[in-house]
Amino acid sequence: MAVESMDVMASTQSQLRTQIADQHLHNDAADERCIYPNLKLRIYITGMRQNRLAKRLGMDEGYLSRIVNGIRQPGQELRLQIANVLGCDAEWLFERGKIETTRNSGRYVTKSV
């Protein structure tokens, strides 16, 4: 009987996780977000790690990561500072691209839009 209860509980938890994930995906902010592909490219080309860039900018590494991944949008002054450290134009560096996350056969798929 205890094993049966555990199976029911595990099944219910799994269903709840799926429902929560589905609700999160239907939130517009979760479905589509802006990213900065040129920023990622420039960081890669320069060989500078995000933690080093964050240190040079005097900011939290986690906050910089959220900018790079499109979760946060930096203000104009911060954009200029980042561009200066990376040695490129701020306007080019922060051109936006969009990504969309969809659920396909139980897996989340991210693609450029």
Asked whether residue 4 is domain-assigned, the answer is: no
Burial of 64 (0-12, 13-18, 19+ CB in 10 A): buried
- pLDDT value, residue 35: 81
pLDDT one-digit tens code per residue, 5-48: 556 555 655 555 555 555 444 444 445 667 888 999 999 999 99
pLDDT one-digit tens code per residue, 41-96: 999 999 999 999 999 999 999 999 999 988 889 999 999 999 999 999 999 999 88
Q: Is the pTM of this model over 0.75?
A: no
The CATH code of the domain that includes 59 is: 1.10.260.40
What total of structural domains would you count in the chain?
Answer: 1
Expressed as residue numbers, the domain containing 91 is: 37-95
Asked whether residue 47 is domain-assigned, the answer is: yes
Asked whether residue 26 is domain-assigned, the answer is: no
Going by C-alpha positions, the residue among 22, 40, 36 that lies closest to residue 101 is: 22
Asked whether residue 108 is domain-assigned, the answer is: no
Asked whether residue 29 is domain-assigned, the answer is: no
CA–CA distance, 109 with 83 (Å, rounded to integer):
31
Asked whether residue 18 is domain-assigned, the answer is: no
Strands 107-112 and 32-35: unpaired
Asked whether residue 13 is domain-assigned, the answer is: no
- pLDDT value, residue 46: 94
